[in-house]
Amino acid sequence: MTAPSDRYIGAPLKRVEDRALMTGGGRYLDDIAMLGVLHVHFVRSAHGHARIVRLDAGAARRAAGVAAVVTSADIKHLGQPAVNAFFPDMKIAPYPLLADGAVRFAGEPIAAVVAESIALARDAAEQIEIEYQPLPAVVDGETAQSANAPIVHESLGTNRAIAGAWRAGDAAAAFASAARVVSVSVDQARVAAVTMEPRGCMARYDAAADELTVWLTTQAPFRARGEIASVIGFGEHRIRVIAPDIGGGFGAKGTTYRDEILVAWLALFLKRPVKWVSTRSEDLMTTQHGRGARARGELAVAADGKIAGLRARIAVSLGSQIVVNGAGPVRNHGRTMPGAYVVPAVDIQATAAYTTTMSTGPYRGAGRPEGIFVIERLMDEAAHALGLDPAEIRRRNFVPAGAFPYRTATGQVYDSGDYGAAFERALTLFEYDRCRAEQQQARQRGEIVGVGIASYVEPSAAGWESGSVRIERTGVVTIVTGSSAHGQGHETTWAQIAADVLGVPHESIRVRHGDTQGTPQGVGTFGSRSTALGGSAVFRAATEVREKGLRLAAKLLEAAPPDVVPVIGGWEVRGVPGRRATWAMVADLAYRGTGLPPGESPGLDATVFFNADSEVWSFGTCVATVAIDRDTGRVTLTRCVWVDDAGTIINPLLAEAQLHGSYAQGAGQALIEGIVYDAAGQLLTASLMDYAAPRADDFPEPVIGEMHTPSPNNPLGAKGVGEAGCIALPPAIVNAVVDALRPWGCTHVDMPLTSEKIWRIFH
């Protein structure tokens, strides 16, 4: 049976969530008020690496309004956060909720002061006396693996926590026989998510019910519930996690942090509501950073530009501890490096090490941008070495359209695509040949301009997600999902999916999420997985409801099921338009429970856990131009044309919004953003006075073209769209800058492309 409506999937509907949020009706964590709530202030390390020689909290405990001061000595019985093992033999360091004997990054929590107000908590914290013995710091993952580097965790005896490799073909022979071998060394600076809303947590224990409710700024409520339960030793079935409106996540709120877990335990321990909301400086200091990797890549190419082999050595900074998915970006960095190209032989090795800094973890792209950046820089260097146009060398190496599903040398299976078509469409929209001619004219006038290209792949949607669809007695549809949105627009897109399947108005559908009580177990929203997995679960659940609705409608209409057809709002007998049953009539029969067809049970709902067999792989090409001011070194992004293929698009307006957001973050990383630690491990970018976050007027409006190659790996044909700009923009912009600066002998510039870095090339 086909869906009765195709009015909604593919329609650019405005988000139903926006009205409340834009008129002040949103309810964020700090908006939640509660009688008798206690407030938490964390005392944090002033050093990047030091032993705690003495800690005296006596005066703070006696201070006015203080309910408790907790240090590591008070919570020895608690567990530590879990880590997902993306690699074998990972060395997992101790991960106490509060620093125990030593501090390993500036900002690490040492004590929690709980008081009747946040002001009283901060005042009392000033009375805690801490004596440190400073230790040598190490702030990057490559140096941390050198012979004389200070050991971050003495119990491990080494800083190296992860070692992985991807090898296929005969890379040594490929390099030995290559016409050209080019190389590039890349230092990917750390970046911060800078979510509009900093992290926070509020918890309340109900002694009568013996239940703990936690309000948390999380992208994954069910994961958070499990981690809190495991660490504090309280039954998971007695914990409810609620994700209220959340001001952005970008991967950083996919982790459940130790300060958040401690707030939950404090509510249980003190038998009173407890609340903590991070300041912006705390957020920059203690919310996981993204990127933070160094790589040296080499590409072997034949005389005609065909790739023969790829070699890379990757060193990642993990920070002081590995967060739950902290190893994920390391894996993505290596496995995505072949990009959109046929690479016959690879030898890629990745290591990751502990450093005396805040942890790194998933941030929009989560390793994909790092891997694609290396191959795209190498493609430009190979083109230059062979005297080829950067566009031409890419044409000669794309995975052919007829080769899908395609297995890469790193063992990944690309599901579907036409990389060359997306590439040519981007060049056409950009008017590439004309722009190259204009570039030559501009250079003759003394202008410094460059053109950069980057093609990319974007894997997403591994694993499973849940969706439940229920028709109420009134005919209204309720969707409940374990996937938790924080800006993605699930309340709009999930309703579009169900509206087309069920043939009901979009406005008659309600979507509920973000609460572990009353929603099916779910995984969460991150890594561009939601539509392909959660949307597919909703699609299949709605399909099951529709099939049952058909059988019940046939009973009401006194017709055989094959003679009943779906129409907008219900069902009718084929060829007899007047004989119609609405969804409300069908639901009434379902819940009345009497007169049901034989074998049918009461109710009109279905819950589906959709489990994907394989990932989906989006792809695209970005072309950018830059202009450089020789006197100041300022780089201006002047134009960006971009074609992205994310399979079936449920809502083009929302998909474009995702592309715009990742465009800003990708361009921001390329041009201005960077977390900076000094040699002692002090964070120099702990405020928005020092950390340059992108603004709306920093970059030109991108020209975005679309292609739609459905994935065979889910019933919607959907792929991910949220990471694309963070993958595409950095290499496109850096390639453009290097293109502009080649007359000055420049072959690479590390991000961010600050004015000082560029100015020094000229001077």
309-325 per-position pLDDT tens digit: 999 999 999 999 999 99
Strands (E), 233-285: 239-242, 274-277
pTM for this model (two decimals) = 0.96
CATH class of 32-135+199-277: alpha beta
| CATH code reported for the domain at 18-26+463-611 | 3.30.365.10
Strands (E), 150-277: 160-168, 180-191, 200-206, 211-216, 239-242, 274-277
Residue with the two structure tokens 């177990």 = 521
368-461+615-762 carries CATH number 3.30.365.10? yes
Q: Which amino acid is at 145?
A: Q
Stretch(es) of the chain classified as CATH 3.30.365.10:
18-26+463-611, 368-461+615-762
Stretch(es) of the chain classified as CATH 3.90.1170.50:
32-135+199-277
Length of the chain: 763
Give the DSSP per-residue string, 388-409.
--HHHHHHTTBPPGGG-SEE-T
Picking from 507, 433, 443, the residue whose alpha carbon sits closest to that of residue 475 is: 507
Residue with the two structure tokens 């474009």 = 656
- Using the CB atoms, write b or e for 255-284: b if 16+ within 10 Å: bbbbbbbbbbbbbbbbebbbbbbbeebbbb
Give the whole-angstrom CA distance, residue 320 versus residue 58: 29
Say what the pLDDT of residue 409 is: 98
Query: Average pLDDT for consecutive 10-residue bins of the chain (763 residues)?
Result: 69 92 93 97 98 98 98 98 95 97 98 99 98 98 97 98 98 98 98 98 98 98 98 98 96 97 99 98 98 99 99 99 97 99 99 99 98 99 98 99 98 98 98 97 97 98 95 96 89 96 95 94 90 96 97 95 93 90 96 92 97 96 98 98 97 96 97 98 97 94 96 97 97 99 97 97 92
The share of the chain scoring above pLDDT 70, in percent, equals 99
